[in-house]
């Protein structure tokens, strides 16, 4: 079974991939999802 850190890293990479595919900045995604940009950055880094 994958460790939590591996799952978070994979999830974050996928979030970043999808965000970029849609031409969105982290700020755009943050605004659309109702969280701050720093939170998006942390998710994308698997933190």
| Total domains present in the chain | 1
Interval 2-21: pLDDT, tens = 799 999 999 999 999 999 99
Check if the beta carbon of residue 43 is closer than 8 Å to that of residue 11.
yes
Mean pLDDT of 23-41: 98
> Which tokens in the block code for residue 36?
């701050």
The pLDDT score that the predictor gives to residue 1 is 63
What is the rounded average pLDDT for all residues in the chain?
96
Q: What is the pTM of this model?
A: 0.88
The DSSP-derived string for 1-47 is ---HHHHHHHHHHHHHHHHHHTT--HHHHHHHHTS-HHHHHHHHTT-
Q: How many angstroms separate the Cα of 11 from the Cα of each of 1, 3, 38?
A: 15, 12, 16
What is the domain extent for residue 28?
A: 4-44
């Amino acid at each position: 079974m994958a460790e939590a850190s591996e799952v978070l890293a994979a999830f974050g990479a996928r979030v970043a991939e999808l965000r970029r595919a849609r031409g969105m900045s982290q700020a755009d995604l943050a605004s659309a999802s109702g969280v701050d940009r720093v939170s998006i950055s942390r998710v994308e880094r698997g933190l």
